Amino acid sequence: MKRRRLKKYISRVLKLYLFYNLVSAILLFAIQKPSSGGLSADDYLMAEKLHDRVALIETGEEGARVRLDLAEAAQTSIDISYYTVTNGKFTEAFLSCLLGAADRGVRVRILFDGLTRIAYERKDLRDAVRGFETHPNIEVRYYEKFNILTPWAWHTRLHEKTIIVDGKLALIGGRNIGDKYFIKDEYQSRFVNDRDALIYHEGPEASVIGDMQRYFDLLWEYKRTKPHRKKITSRQIERAKFTNSAIRNHYKMLKSKHPELFQKTDWNAKTYPAEAVQFVHNPLGRLNNEPWSLRKLLSLTSQARSSVFLQSPYIIPSRRMRNEIKGYGIQWEKLTILTNSKQSSPNVLAMAAYLNHRKGIVDRVAALHEYQGPDSIHGKSYIFDDSISVIGTVNLDARSSYIDTESIIIITSKEFASDLRDKIQIPLDNSVVVQDDNTYGGAAKEMKTPRLFSKIVGLFDFLL
């Protein structure tokens, strides 16, 4: 009798909790109006800076090399914020360079997302991060750590992918830290094509890197950014000594076997001057926030005189996004779009939701290209009038617009725009244009997605 009553009690509690989740983790996002997170537009719409140098980092090999170069170049500080970090060869090399920097006196601050760490911080990586936490020059924090009692916070993710070094160098783009972004030969069809923008500044003038630094500090000091643990036990310290020693040995091995990876970089020669560079980021806060990054992109699109090219791995214009777009008087015939196809994208839910909007997009824009794989595209890139380029973390979906932390860099430079357009031509050459009848017109085979599945997923596009 007691056991039966206990089961009934547990069942009721679980049902109440599920209802609580339904309301606070799903329905609340559908009805709550966006807020500014207590900030004004001046806090995250930074002024253009006129004295920065830039470079496009396109291939996975280039992306890996520049990250190692940045760690090796650091003299005083390294600030890192990443959405996901996964075990692998490059991750091991990158972490060893960070520890090497800390050992020579560089202050290293590492900011991770508080939810994705649960999925990706497995044994070797977890041990490495815990070892870092015992180093006097390294501090690790997590943005919005998982809490079973706050389902509305589960969606609020740190979507940043940024490195800032010495206040003189910065890297921003769509790549997370993991081998599938850097080692194409090993990952083949699972490889993720992405890109970064490198910014370099040396001199007394104001730099966009200062704006990026202030944003990192805002994230770092945010009231819901916390360390993994407040106290470290003596046993954990002893284990960390062993882990850090292994990482140091790996660092020594890399320097011995691959000295070419540790040559001093001429950052001036690697970059070229931009006419102007601007940094924009979303507000911080839970639930829906004002879409400042999206609004900047829409403003640039509405101001374009002749052409707009955009690339996004996912295009899911929710109802709230569509209402926002209406206010900008966009001339759709100027737009050319590149996104994943169903066969190239690893994100089944995102592609199912996208299919609900594909015909409407085709009817409006000049051309909609879908990348055919076998790998996928993950870059978030925009070109306006062949002179203004945008690189960053913002996907064209509700999550990037209203929920996650996001940031973009806006570069006014015909040279950078030309370089970016040339690099984008490679996936464009491996794409198919969607025809007016919403098919490939026989140009390629197309995977089928059940229409009912797309419609069901589309009901939740305000969270995708």
CA–centroid distance for 167 within its chain: 21
The gap from C-alpha 139 to its chain's centroid, in whole angstroms, comes to: 21
128: phi then psi, degrees, rounded to nearest 5: -65, -45
Residue 263 and residue 260: Cα distance in Å, rounded? 6
Averaged over 190-218, what is the pLDDT? 95
**pLDDT tens-digit profile of 287-345?**
999 999 999 999 999 999 999 999 999 999 999 999 999 999 999 999 999 999 999 99
How many angstroms separate the Cα of 48 from the Cα of each of 260, 278, 300? Answer: 36, 5, 14
- Please report the domains of the chain, with CATH numbers, ordered by start residue: 51-269 (3.30.870.10), 284-463 (3.30.870.10)
pLDDT digits 0-9 by tens, 219-234:
999 999 999 876 777 7
CA dihedral for 244, 246, 249, 255, sign (positive or negative):
negative
Question: pLDDT confidence of 83, banded at 50, 70, 90?
Answer: very high
Q: Buried b / exposed e across 421-453, counting CB within 10 Å, b at 16+?
A: eebbeebbeebbebeeeeebeeeeebeeeeeee
Instruction: Give the pLDDT mean for 155-170.
Output: 96
Can you tell me the distance from the alpha carbon of 317 to that of 364, in angstroms, rounded to the nearest whole number? 14
The secondary structure of residue 100, as a DSSP letter, is H
CB within 8 Å of 265: residues ≥ 6 apart: 69, 72, 73
Single out the residue of 285, 151, 160 nearest to residue 224, CA to CA: 285
393: tokens are 């973390």
The total of other beta-carbon atoms located within 10 Å of residue 290's CB is 21
- Distance (Å, whole) CA 385 – CA 160: 27
Q: Return the number of other C-beta atoms located less than 10 Å from residue 345's C-beta.
A: 21
pLDDT interval class at 269 (50, 70, 90)? very high
What one-letter code names the amino acid at 458? Answer: G
pLDDT of 42:
59
Looking at residue 279, its pLDDT comes to 97
Question: pLDDT digits over 413-460, tens only?
Answer: 999 999 999 999 999 999 999 999 999 987 777 878 888 999 999 999
Decide if pLDDT at 238 tops 90: no
Q: Can you give the pLDDT at residue 446?
A: 82
pLDDT of residue 286: 92
- Smallest CA-to-CA distance from 281 within 111, 153, 404 is with 404
Residue 5 banded pLDDT, cuts 50, 70, 90? confident
Average pLDDT over residues 25-48: 75
Relative to beta strand 161-165, strand 169-173 is: antiparallel
84-110 mean pLDDT: 95
- Cα 449 from Cα 452, distance rounded (Å): 9
What is the C-alpha radius of gyration for the chain, rounded to an integer number of angstroms? Answer: 23
Query: For residue 121, what pLDDT is reported?
Result: 65
Q: How confident is the model at residue 122 (pLDDT cuts 50, 70, 90)?
A: low
For the chain, the average pLDDT equals 92
